[in-house]
């Protein structure tokens, strides 16, 4: 078996977890790949093949992301592009998408024996059309369009096939997959969706109305999003944030098109739990303190 270790060393226990995982896997004749970026840090561990991360993703059978949910999101683009299964090991606080905690590495034995199942998680396709160019991206959690801190409330327009879906004033809009429904959208008042549902949701951020609520759209829906200039925000631009990473700004002349993607990743559930167990254990209890991380 060939495994690509994808770590986030900003997490307190990550270094130790990476070393323990590498020791466990190498003792079982697993070939371990890691980005050449970490060669200096882990050069003392024998048997690791350090390569460009795209080469690592292409050659491996499974990607193991060690960190938090953000680490899993970062690894998901490679998992999607190269169609590799993705396992998350949590060294952060919530780790909602992770199937293992950093002190449960003995369960990696199930990975080697094939005693696990996978969950297909669809992504969102996002097309940004400008006057002279266009960009396409895919996200696993969400795409957020929001005003910068110094800008006043923005006027948004959301359409489906030239029909108005929503015309509202708000701090921003969140478009999320069922996977992302437990992330920013949940904090903004959106519902929890089972992750295998074929749909996506639209949640406004602090809308200036009593009637605005999350809307859920079928997999065949394509939405067009724009914002309008007015006297208060003339010539202003909005922030475009994909899976927590700020990509660019958009102007009032730009259009953003959002639809459910045919692309997906396969998340490994190595412990045999289920989605609602994670909801109960991780969303309905206090977060870990920094001492527990």
CB 68 within 8 A of CB 90: yes
pLDDT of 286: 57
Q: Does domain 2-116+270-292 have CATH number 3.40.50.10330?
A: yes
Cβ atoms 258, 225 nearer than 8 A = yes
Residue in the structure block whose two tokens are 């309008």 = 228
pLDDT tens for each residue of the chain, 293 residues long: 999 999 999 988 899 999 999 999 999 999 999 999 999 999 999 889 999 999 999 999 999 999 999 999 999 999 999 999 999 999 977 778 888 999 999 999 999 999 999 999 999 999 999 988 999 999 999 999 998 887 888 899 999 998 999 999 999 999 999 999 999 999 999 999 999 899 999 999 999 988 889 999 999 999 999 998 665 555 678 999 999 999 889 988 999 999 999 999 999 998 776 777 777 777 776 555 544 44
Query: Domain 123-262, what fold?
Result: Tumour Suppressor Smad4 (2.60.200)
Q: Is 29 a catalytic residue?
A: no
Choose the catalytic residue: 69, 125, 142, 243: 69
Task: Please list the residue range(s) of the chain that carry CATH number 2.60.200.30.
Answer: 123-262
What is d(CA 274, CA 266) in angstroms, rounded to the nearest whole number? Answer: 15
Q: Are 76 and 64 spatial neighbours (Cβ–Cβ below 8 Å)?
A: no
Residues spanned by CATH 3.40.50.10330 within the chain? 2-116+270-292
Q: How far is 248 from 253, CA to CA, in rounded Å?
A: 14
* 13 close to 71: Cβ distance less than 8 angstroms: no
Ranges assigned E (strand) in the chain: 2-7, 31-35, 48-51, 62-67, 85-90, 100-101, 117-129, 134-139, 142-146, 154-160, 163-170, 172-176, 199-205, 215-218, 222-228, 238-242, 245-250, 255-269
Look up residue 288 and give its DSSP letter. Answer: P
Angstrom distances, CA of residue 71 to CA of 96, 209, 275:
11, 36, 19
Asked whether the beta carbons of 259 and 253 are under 8 A apart, the reply is no
Identify which of 282, 270, 292 has the alpha carbon closest to the alpha carbon of residue 116: 270
The pLDDT of residue 288 is: 55
Is 59 in a helix, a strand, or coil? helix
């Amino acid at each position: 078996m060939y495994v690509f270790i994808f770590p986030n060393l900003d997490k307190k226990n990550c270094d130790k977890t990476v070393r323990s995982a590498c020791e466990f896997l190498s003792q079982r004749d697993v070939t371990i790949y890691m980005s050449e970026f970490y060669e200096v840090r882990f050069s003392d561990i024998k048997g690791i093949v350090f390569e460009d991360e795209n080469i690592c993703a292409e050659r491996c059978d499974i990607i193991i992301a060690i960190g938090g949910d953000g680490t899993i999101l970062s690894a998901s683009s490679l998992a999607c592009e190269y169609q590799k299964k993705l396992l998350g090991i949590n060294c952060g606080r919530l780790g909602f998408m992770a199937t293992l905690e950093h002190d449960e590495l003995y369960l990696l034995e199930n990975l080697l024996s094939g005693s696990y199942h996978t969950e297909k998680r669809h992504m969102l396709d996002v097309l940004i059309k400008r006057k002279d160019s266009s960009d396409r991206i895919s996200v696993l959690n969400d795409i957020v369009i929001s005003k910068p801190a110094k800008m006043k409330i923005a006027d948004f327009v959301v359409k489906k096939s030239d029909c108005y879906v929503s015309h509202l004033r708000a701090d921003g809009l969140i478009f999320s997959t069922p996977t992302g429904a437990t992330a920013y959208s949940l904090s903004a008042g959106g519902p929890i969706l089972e992750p295998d549902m074929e749909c996506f949701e639209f949640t406004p951020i602090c809308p200036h109305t009593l009637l605005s609520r999350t809307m859920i759209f079928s997999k065949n829906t394509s939405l067009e999003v724009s914002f309008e200039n007015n006297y208060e925000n003339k010539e202003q631009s909005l922030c475009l944030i994909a899976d927590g990473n700020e990509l660019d700004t958009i102007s009032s002349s730009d259009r953003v098109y959002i639809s459910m993607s045919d692309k997906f990743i396969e998340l490994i559930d190595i412990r045999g739990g289920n989605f609602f167990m994670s909801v109960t254990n991780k969303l309905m209890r206090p977060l870990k303190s920094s001492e527990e991380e």
